[in-house]
Structure 1
Amino acid sequence: MKKFKGIYTALVTPFDADGRIHAPALQKLVESNLQMGVNGFYVAGSTGESYLLSVEERKYLLEAVMEAVNGRADVIVNIGMFATEHSIALARHAKKQQVSAISSVPPFYFPFTMDEYIQYYTDLAEAAEIPVIIYNIPAMSSVTFTMEDITRLFSNDGIIGVKHTSYDLFQLQQVVKQYPEKSVFIGHDEIYLSALAAGAEAGIGSTYNIMADKFVKISRLFGEKHLEQALEVQNEVNEIVTALCNVGVFKGIKEILKMQGTDCGVCRKPFQPLKEEQIRYLRDVAQKNHIL
């Protein structure tokens, strides 16, 4: 069982002026992230506006990413849908594309039981025959996995890890300690250094699109035990994260990408474009923290 380590960019989905997925911008984005030293990519997650895409668009997006990456890095894809059969269909498509692993948000909206969530992931692992990574994101899914739940999930050898998009570092540390063979990704960029201290060895992040090199640097400095310098870089990251939160994270990331020379368009409606004063504010923060 492969254990994933390092920096995995949660890719934005570029759109052209007509709102279609823009493969050339995607290729440019993949190249820039590879140059910054990422280990892989996470496709069709929250950052990728997956729930604003049709099923066919999600398939095309993955195919475009696989073509752009061309075997140079890992690719993990979120195949989460409301219905198990639809998730399995996307998972089987992902297997044909030879992705490194699939991931899934627990089905939300309906109040499923924990037994039903666990069966959902079990069905994915059995039907797809490809490594499965749990996408733990309670703020978006309203599903909270306890350690008992994680133990039940991890008893399935097909479930190889978790994307921990939660501020619960206590639980993260417990998972790392009890399941050293599993892949544990921190999904909150603003606590990346804290997660490394708790034992995480991998991250999946939205802001990696615009500054993956900062996270690569934090990892290196942490490994060299230069903790003060690592914290300085994390502080720069957090100034940018704060600015993004103030204007809308996904909209802000696309705007900074445009400033950096990779035009990925705007987020789909009902997201609204940023205002001019928001763009000026973002530019000031980006320049101050050396990403422009």
Structure 2
Amino acid sequence: MKKFEGLYTALVTPFDQDGKINDAVLQKLIEKNQAQGVKGFYVSGSTGESYLLSTDERKYLIDSVTEAVGGKGEVIVNIGMFATKHSIELARHAYSRNVSAISSVPPFYFPFTKNELVTYYEDLANAVDTPVIVYNIPKMSGIEFTLDDFDRLLANEKILGIKHTSYDLFQFQQLIEAYPDKSIFIGHDEIYLSALAAGAKAGIGSTYNIMADKFVKLDQCFAGNKKEEALKIQGEINCVVQALCKVGVFKGVKEILKMQGLDCGSCRKPFLPLNESQKIFLRETAEKNGLL
């Protein structure tokens, strides 16, 4: 089974003025990221507002992204929903579009047992001949997977890895060491350099939308043992991340993309639009850190 390495943009979902998926802007965003050196795209994740999209919209988004990528990069699709049946429906659609892998957050809200969650991922793996990536995001899902849980999950050869959106670098390093043939992605942009030191070979990030080139350069500096330059770039990234956290990460990423000439519209309600002072703050941050 293939191993994923490199940078994968957690794509925003662009909307037009009528609130529909904007294919033209999506195409330009994908081209921009490819030109900056990303290996592929993570579609319909948190950054893509997946749970604010209908099932039909999520299928349409898969179609639009795979067409835009045109085989020139990897496409990983989050097909996570509450019901296994609905996730499998999306998984089969993704499979029909020849995506590189499917991924899923663990079903949340209801108090599922760990056995039920493991069975959920095994059902996905059995449903389609597409590799599965577990989306570990405890802050959003409320589910904390232990190393024993991951041992059960990764014992399935069709579950090829984990998107580790957690600050637990201890567990992250243990997973990399225990499973050298699996793909363990770091999902927090603000600790990317620390993750590289822990052995990371792959990342999936929201801020790659607006500054993938910084992460490409950071990779190069780390590989070349240019520690001070690597720390400087991570510091710039963290300055941007801190600003995004103050205004709302997904709304902020879309606003900076608009400043860069890619109007991806607003995040869907119940998200509210940014006010003028927030926009000014973001512009100053973007200019200070070389994004404009």
Q: CA deviation at 1:129?
A: 1.8
Q: Look up the SS of the partner of 1:161 in the other structure.
A: strand
Q: Give distance in 2, aligned partners of 1:143 and 1:227.
A: 35
Q: Give distance in 2, aligned partners of 1:25 and 1:273.
A: 19
Stretches of structure 2 that go unaligned for 5 or more consecutive residues are none
- Confirm whether residue 225 of structure 1 aligns to residue 203 of structure 2: no
Q: Look up the SS of the partner of 2:13 in the other structure.
A: coil
Q: Give distance in 2, aligned partners of 1:101 and 1:227.
A: 33
Q: Give distance in 2, aligned partners of 1:46 and 1:170.
A: 24
Alignment partner, residue 251 of structure 1: 251
Alignment partner, residue 164 of structure 2: 164
Alignment partner, residue 133 of structure 1: 133
- Residues 144-183 of structure 1: pairs in structure 2 closer than 5 A: 144-183=144-183
Alignment partner, residue 82 of structure 2: 82
Q: Give distance in 2, aligned partners of 1:66 and 1:236.
A: 32
Q: CA deviation at 1:128?
A: 1.5
Tell me the TM-score normalized by structure 1.
Answer: 1.00
Q: Look up the SS of the partner of 2:65 in the other structure.
A: helix
One-letter identity of the residue aligned with 1:103: S
Q: Which digits, 9 at most, give the CA deviation of each residue in 1:87-123, with x for residues without a partner? A: 0010000000000000000000000000000000000
Alignment partner, residue 58 of structure 1: 58
- Confirm whether residue 102 of structure 1 aligns to residue 92 of structure 2: no
Q: CA deviation at 1:45?
A: 0.0
Q: Give distance in 1, aligned partners of 2:92 and 2:228.
A: 45
Q: Give distance in 1, aligned partners of 2:227 and 2:144.
A: 32
Pairwise CA RMSD of aligned residues? 0.4
Q: Give distance in 2, aligned partners of 1:184 and 1:92.
A: 24
Q: Which digits, 9 at most, give the CA deviation of each residue in 1:163-198, with x for residues without a partner? A: 000000000000000000000100000000000100
Q: CA deviation at 1:257?
A: 0.2
Q: Give distance in 2, aligned partners of 1:55 and 1:286.
A: 34
Alignment partner, residue 120 of structure 1: 120
Alignment partner, residue 12 of structure 1: 12
Q: Give distance in 1, aligned partners of 2:252 and 2:128.
A: 35
Q: Give distance in 2, aligned partners of 1:74 and 1:230.
A: 26
Q: Look up the SS of the partner of 1:8 in the other structure.
A: strand
- Confirm whether residue 277 of structure 1 aligns to residue 277 of structure 2: yes
Q: Which digits, 9 at most, give the CA deviation of each residue in 1:28-61, with x for residues without a partner? A: 1000000110000000000000000000000000
Q: Which digits, 9 at most, give the CA deviation of each residue in 1:119-171, with x for residues without a partner? A: 00000001112100000000000011100000000100000000000000000
Q: Give distance in 2, aligned partners of 1:219 and 1:161.
A: 21
Alignment partner, residue 21 of structure 2: 21
Q: Look up the SS of the partner of 1:85 in the other structure.
A: helix
Stretches of structure 1 that go unaligned for 5 or more consecutive residues are none
Q: How many residues align?
A: 292
Q: Give distance in 2, aligned partners of 1:144 and 1:212.
A: 29
Q: Look up the SS of the partner of 1:103 in the other structure.
A: strand
Q: Give distance in 1, aligned partners of 2:80 and 2:113.
A: 17
Q: CA deviation at 1:244?
A: 0.2
Alignment partner, residue 34 of structure 2: 34
Q: Which digits, 9 at most, give the CA deviation of each residue in 1:68-90, with x for residues without a partner? A: 10000000000000000100010
Q: CA deviation at 1:280?
A: 0.3
Q: Give distance in 2, aligned partners of 1:176 and 1:228.
A: 25
Q: CA deviation at 1:227?
A: 1.4
Counting aligned pairs with the same residue, the percent is 67
One-letter identity of the residue aligned with 1:285: T
Q: CA deviation at 1:225?
A: 1.0
Q: Look up the SS of the partner of 2:172 in the other structure.
A: helix
Q: Give distance in 2, aligned partners of 1:231 and 1:144.
A: 30
Q: Give distance in 1, aligned partners of 2:53 and 2:17.
A: 16
- Confirm whether residue 262 of structure 1 aligns to residue 262 of structure 2: yes
| Segments ≥4 residues shifted beyond 6 Å | none
Q: CA deviation at 1:228?
A: 1.2
